[in-house]
C-alpha cells in the first residue's frame, strides 16, 4: 500500500516550496523598494547635515561679530562717559569762575578824556564812545548806539532810554545830542 498511496497522493512539499519561493521574491522586491527609499532618505539627511554645518559656521561668525560689536559698544560707552565727566568738570570750573566774577567788586569807570574843540574827543572806528560823566549831554559819534553809549558811561540801557524818551536808538545820527542819565 505504500507504493500505491504515494503515487496517488500528490506531495504538498513542492507546492509549499513554490509558495515560499514566490513569497521570497515578493519580499525581495519590497526590500529593494525600501532600500531605494532609505538611500534617498540618507542623501536628504546628508544634505541637511551639510546645511546645518554651514549654518553652524555662520552662527559662529555672527557670534564673533556680535562679540566685537559689544566690545566696541562698551568702549564707546566708556569714552562717552569720560567725555561727559570732562564736560561736567569744565562746567563746574566755569560756574566757579562765574561766581567769582559775580561776587568780585566792580571796577570804577575810567576817567573821561579831555574834550576837543567841539566839546568831545574824536572816536576812532571800533573804539568806545567818549565819556562825559554822569548827567549832561552827549554828542553821537559814528558807530554809537544807546547800548554802547550806556555801557561806556556805566549806566543801564533802561536808564539811557528813560533819559531820552522818543529817541529811537536805531535812528541815531552823527552829531545828534542826547541826554545822559544822572
- pLDDT tens by residue, 32-78: 999 999 999 999 999 999 999 999 999 999 999 999 999 999 999 99
Quick: pLDDT tens for 87-129.
999 999 898 888 888 887 776 555 554 444 444 444 444 444 4
Assess contact for 156 and 171: CB atoms under 8 A. Answer: no
Q: What is the pLDDT of residues 137-167, one digit of tens each?
A: 899 999 888 889 999 989 999 999 999 998 8
30 pLDDT more than 80:
yes
Rounded to 10 degrees, the C-alpha dihedral 155/158/160/161 comes to 180
Run of H or E residues at 65: helix 13-103
Predicted TM-score (pTM) of the model is: 0.35
List, in order, residues 6 or more apart from 152 with CB less than 8 Å away. Answer: 128, 129, 130, 131
What phi and psi values does residue 131 have, to the nearest 5 degrees? Answer: -100, 135
d(CA 110, CA 179): 20
| C-beta separation of 167 from 144 below 8 A | no
What mean pLDDT do residues 8-19 have? 83
Per-domain residue ranges of the chain: 13-104, 111-182
Task: Tell me 106's DSSP state.
Answer: P
Q: CA 143, CA 123: separation in Å to the nearest integer?
A: 9
Give me the residue label for grid cell 556680535: 66
Classify domain 111-182 by CATH number.
Answer: 3.10.350.10
Own/partner long-range contacts of 100-106 (Cβ < 8 Å, ≥24 apart): none
Q: For residue 133, what pLDDT is reported? A: 45
Size (the chain), residues: 182
- Residues 153/131, Cβ–Cβ less than 8 Å: yes
Amino acid at each position: 500500500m505504500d507504493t500505491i498511496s504515494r503515487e496517488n497522493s500528490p506531495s504538498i512539499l513542492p507546492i509549499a516550496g513554490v509558495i515560499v519561493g514566490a513569497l521570497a521574491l515578493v519580499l525581495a522586491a519590497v526590500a529593494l523598494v525600501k532600500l531605494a527609499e532609505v538611500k534617498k532618505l540618507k542623501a536628504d539627511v546628508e544634505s541637511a547635515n551639510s546645511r546645518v554645518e554651514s549654518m553652524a559656521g555662520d552662527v559662529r561668525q555672527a557670534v564673533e561679530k556680535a562679540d566685537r560689536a559689544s566690545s566696541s559698544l562698551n568702549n564707546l560707552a566708556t569714552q562717552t562717559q569720560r567725555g561727559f565727566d570732562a564736560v561736567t568738570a569744565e562746567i563746574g570750573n566755569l560756574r566757579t569762575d562765574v561766581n567769582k566774577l559775580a561776587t568780585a567788586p566792580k571796577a570804577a569807570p575810567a576817567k573821561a578824556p579831555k574834550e576837543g574843540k567841539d566839546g568831545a574827543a574824536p572816536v576812532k572806528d571800533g573804539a568806545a564812545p567818549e565819556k562825559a560823566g554822569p548827567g549832561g549831554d552827549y554828542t553821537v559819534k559814528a558807530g554809537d548806539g544807546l547800548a554802547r553809549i550806556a555801557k561806556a558811561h556805566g549806566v543801564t540801557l533802561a536808564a539811557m532810554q528813560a533819559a531820552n524818551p522818543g529817541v529811537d536808538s536805531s535812528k541815531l545820527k552823527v552829531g545828534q545830542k542826547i541826554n545822559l542819565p544822572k
